[in-house]
């Protein structure tokens, strides 16, 4: 991991500007880079592999990526904070699908921040401003909201 720390202070395309979220699967580390509006992938020894995204609101673009994680199928789920959605990517960085929108209804976010997976591969998303957790299927279908105030 010490080599990865050098990347943060490095220069060029592989440099991390404002690292926010971190996820590991196998030999890959994915890092959401808040200010560059990208997700960057590195090997465990810190070598740059690839990047996903740019600033925007289209599929594959981010507006402040936050928490992220790999599910059991090694799909990468990324909280797209200021676009109020979760974007999902295949192992080759291809956009798969997204879910969520801005609002206070079922399956909507006020400010999504972190992500986790349960033993059934369901997706849990914390919502900072709604003070709750949203539960979705691995395919993004809304199941329920937990502990909303």
Reading the chain (149 residues) residue by residue, the pLDDT tens digits are: 555 555 555 567 778 888 999 999 999 999 999 999 999 999 888 888 999 999 999 999 999 999 999 999 999 999 999 999 999 999 999 999 999 999 999 999 999 999 999 999 999 999 999 999 999 999 999 999 987 76
Task: Report the half-sphere exposure of 42 (CA within 13 A, side-chain side).
Answer: 25
Residue whose entry in the numeric block shows the structure tokens 């609101």: 57
**pTM score of the predicted model:** 0.93
Residue 30 corresponds to which tokens in the numbers above? Answer: 């994915």
């Amino acid at each position: 991991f010490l080599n990865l720390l050098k990347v943060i202070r490095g220069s060029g395309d592989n440099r991390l500007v404002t690292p926010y979220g971190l996820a590991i699967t196998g030999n890959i580390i994915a890092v959401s880079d808040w200010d560059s509006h990208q997700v960057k992938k590195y090997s465990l020894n810190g070598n740059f592999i690839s990047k996903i995204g740019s600033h925007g609101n289209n599929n594959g673009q981010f507006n402040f990526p936050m928490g992220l994680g790999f599910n059991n199928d090694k799909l990468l789920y990324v909280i797209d904070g200021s676009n109020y959605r979760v974007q999902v990517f295949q192992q080759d960085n291809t956009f798969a699908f997204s879910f969520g929108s801005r609002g206070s209804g079922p399956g909507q976010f006020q400010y999504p921040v972190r992500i986790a997976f349960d033993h059934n591969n369901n997706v849990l998303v914390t919502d900072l401003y709604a003070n709750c957790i949203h539960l979705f299927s691995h395919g993004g279908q809304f199941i329920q909201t937990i502990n909303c105030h």
